[in-house]
Amino acid sequence: MLRELALHILDIVENSINAGATRVTIEVREDTREDTLIIRVADNGRGMDAAALQRAGDPFFTTRTTRRVGLGLPFLKQAAEMCNGLMSIESQLGVGTTVTATFQHSHLNRMPLGDLAGTLLTLVIGNPQTDFILRHSVNDETFEFDTRPIKAVLGDVPLSDPAVIAYLKQALEI
């Protein structure tokens, strides 16, 4: 069992990257009045056909070749269901995939969000060919981070440049 929602998000985004996504949008919406926490990861990767989509939440379905179980989606589903929530997947072949998980915000089993900014920094630096958009809202306040305008300004300067990393940390409020 993963102890932080950020680590679940990392797993789900890794699926997007494995599916060839060039853009991944991560939304975390916390609403304490509705008592909900919603995580949504949307990508423009290769998507799944209806048969694959139906089996995607099954631990014994994977297109991995290194082992025969795939646990990213089943773990997220289990985590959500332990908190009065659920997980759903929408996907269209050649278009992309959206994974949504809902949690009861105040539920005793609801793990903390964890290091969302650190997770994002790792993803951004490790996948320079992919654009990432993060939107994290708590009630009426929203934090936004988008690699697209940053990359436009950087031009040829690599994301791994120490000055760029320092800037990314600042933008992510780390």
Q: Rule CB under 6 A: which residues touch ligand ATP?
A: 11, 15-16, 19, 43, 45-48, 56, 61-64, 70-74, 97
Q: Would you put residue 92 in left (φ > 0), alpha (ψ -120 to 50) or beta? A: beta
Among the listed ranges 8-16, 102-110, 127-135, 145-153, the one in contact with Mg ion (CB under 5 A) is: 8-16
Minimum distance of ligand ATP from residue 23's CB (angstroms)? 12
Residue 63, binding choice from ligand ATP, Mg ion, none, Cβ under 5 to 8 Å by partner class: ligand ATP
Minimum distance of ligand ATP from residue 70's CB (angstroms)? 2
For Mg ion (CB under 5 A), the number of binding residues is 2
Are the C-beta atoms of residues 139 and 30 closer than 8 Å to each other?
A: yes
3-state secondary structure of 47: coil
Helix axes 116-126, 162-171, angle to 10 degrees: 150
Site string for Mg ion, 9-28 (x = CB under 5 A): ------x-------------
* Region 22-61 residues binding Mg ion, contact defined as CB under 5 A: none
State both tokens at 50: 């209806």
Closest by CA to 25, choosing from 86, 117, 98, 119, is 98
For ligand ATP, which is the closer residue by CB, 21 or 168? Answer: 21
Minimum distance of Mg ion from residue 70's CB (angstroms)? 6
Are the C-beta atoms of residues 28 and 137 closer than 8 Å to each other?
A: yes
